[in-house]
Each structure stands twice: as C-alpha cells, then as structure tokens.
Amino acid sequence: MAFRKKADKIFQLFPDIAIIPECEHPGNLNFDSRFLNPNTIIWHGNNKHKGLGVFSFNGYTIKLLDTHNQHIKTVLPIRVSNKREKYLLLAVWAHNPHDPAYRYIGQVWKAIEAYENLFEHEQVIIAGDFNSNVIWDKLKRKISHTMVVEKLQNIGIVSSYHLNTKYKQGQEKHPTFFLYRHENKPYHIDYCFVSKWLASKIKSVEIGGYSDWVKYSDHSPLIVDFETK
C-alpha cells in the first residue's frame, strides 16, 4: 500500500516488468524525475488504495486480455510484448475474500484452469504473491499448494526460485514475507513460475534482504533475470 512512497525503490531495480500486489491506484503516482516512466500500466481492484498493479518498461508493453475472468479478480492474464518477443503473464495477487473456499492458492488453481488453453503455444510467466506455501497443505482447503505446483509441473511450468536454488518446496532458505514485519516470522509465499524454455534462460534469481526492504513492506521483492533475445 501507499506505493507512491515506495515506487522509486522498486523502479531503481530497472525492471522490464514489475508486479505489485496491494498497489494503490496509479493515479496517485507522480512520475517525475525520481521515477522510471512506465511504458504501460495495468491496475485492477475495487479499493483505490489496494489493488494489483503491473508496470512495463524498457520497450515492453502490456495488455490485459479480453479473456480475463472477472470471478478471478486479481489473477490477471496479460500479453507482454516488444518488437521481438511476446509472453503470456499471469500476474498474481492470490486473495479473494468473497470466495472463501478458494480464497488464497485456490485463486491460482482457478486461473490455471481458466487460462490453460492459452498455455500450449505460449511462453508463460505466472508470478506474484501466492499467499501460500507447502507448509500449509494440511489446512482444510479444497486446493493445496502442492496441488498447484504439481499441476504446473505436469504442463511444463516450474518455479524459477526452486529450479535455481535446488531447494524443495517448503524448504526455502530465502523468505519473501515477514509477518507483521518481524524478522523472526519469515515465510516464502511469492513465486515466479515459468515455461521450460524461459527456465533455461534464467540468469539469476534474487530475493531482497530483510534489512533493505522492511521499512517499505512486509514483503521483499523476488527478482528474476532472464537472458532472452
């Protein structure tokens, strides 16, 4: 929230694509000399203080697909493209209080089922705040984290962090979230899943350090760098 106070910190990373869950409406942002100027912006939400924002830079443009399922409010199917390449991005903020049986990871499951027909001929990126980890699999939910990971693996889509570090799901050594911003309450709940071809192009996967980011957010950024065209 209050992304206008944090945007310069994120944009100093010089992203091509930035996915910002809990992002205030971009009308509140002032793109002055402190900021990179986004090429295109997509924002979706019912609360102007807290939606899902996606920003593109460096010649990339983004477009929300007409196939966006309004019942899966904050998993957005987006076309990412520049003059040489294009990708299908599912930008994720896995949260829907009006769908309690599928409130968190269930939203990702629903999105995969809704858009899976697009995956066959696309390079796919599914990234953002999943609000989930395999450590919560035993909670009484219809959909578990493991079910989502296995479903993606079966169609050739893998977690960039786990591929790069060789850690197993649930055994991550680099938290992306600190409950109440407490360093002794770390969790790994943000992910970037990619198609196999993109997985082969990963240069690095980095998670921002607690001390660098805690004054800005209870999350640290997950940064995935690819060597593509």
Is residue 32 scored above 80 in pLDDT?
A: no
The CA distance from 229 to 227, in Å, is 7
CATH number of the CATH domain containing 194: 3.60.10.10
Q: Nearest 5 degrees, angle CA 30-CA 32-CA 34?
A: 110
Are the C-beta atoms of 169 and 191 separated by less than 8 Å?
Answer: no
- Residue 33: predicted pLDDT: 57
Integer Cα distance of 62 and 161 in angstroms = 24
Span 104-132, average pLDDT: 96
pLDDT band at 100 (very low <50, low <70, confident <90, very high): confident
Averaged over 109-118, what is the pLDDT? Answer: 96
Q: What is the pLDDT of residue 138?
A: 80
The pairing of beta strand 124-129 with beta strand 86-93: parallel
DSSP 168: P
Query: Tokens 């991550």 sit at which residue?
Result: 172
Residue at token pair 């998670």: 207
The two tokens of residue 92 are 């994720």
CA distances from 111 to 18, 103, 128, 149, 206 (A): 20, 12, 13, 13, 26
Average pLDDT over residues 17-45: 86
| H or E stretch covering 76 | strand 75-81
Counting Cα atoms < 13 Å in the Cβ hemisphere of 166 gives 0
> How many whole angstroms separate alpha carbon 188 and alpha carbon 191?
8
Least confident of 13-17, 34-38, 185-189: 34-38
pLDDT band at 170 (very low <50, low <70, confident <90, very high): very high
**Residue 199 above 90 pLDDT?**
yes
Tell me the percentage of the chain whose pLDDT exceeds 90.
Answer: 79
- CB–CB of 205/160 below 8 Å? yes
Three-class DSSP category at 178: strand
Q: Do 62 and 17 touch, CB atoms closer than 8 A?
A: yes
pLDDT for residue 99 is more than 90: no
pLDDT value for 75? 97
Classify residue 150 as exposed, middle or buried by CB count within 10 Å of its CB (0-12, 13-18, 19+): exposed
pLDDT for the residue numbered 110: 97
Q: What angle do CA 51, 19, 183 make, to 5 degrees?
A: 90
- Domain total of the chain: 1
| Range in 8-12, 126-130, 131-135 the model is least confident about | 8-12
What pLDDT sits at residue 5? Answer: 81
Average pLDDT for the chain: 93
Domain that holds residue 23: 3-226
Q: Which two tokens stand for residue 214?
A: 């805690």
The predicted structure's pLDDT at residue 229: 66
